[in-house]
Amino acid sequence: MNYIFSENDMPAKEELPVNVDNEKKNKQDEELKRKYRKAFLLNTREFKVLKNYCKKYRILNQSEFMRSAIMTAILKKYDEDAPTLFEVKKVQEQEVKELEKPTKQKPAVVVPPQPDLFSCLQQ
Does 83 fall in a domain? yes
d(CA 95, CA 2): 91
Does 119 fall in a domain? no
* Residue 36: half-sphere exposure toward Cβ, Cα within 13 Å: 4
* Residue 72: half-sphere exposure toward Cβ, Cα within 13 Å: 6
Residue 60 is part of which domain span? 42-96
Does 64 fall in a domain? yes
For residue 105, what pLDDT is reported?
66
Output the tens digit of pLDDT for each of the chain's 123 residues. 455 555 555 555 555 555 667 787 888 888 888 899 999 999 999 999 999 999 999 999 999 999 999 999 999 998 888 777 666 677 778 887 777 776 666 666 776 666 666 666 555
Total number of domains constituting the chain: 1
Does 71 fall in a domain? yes
For residue 123, what pLDDT is reported?
53
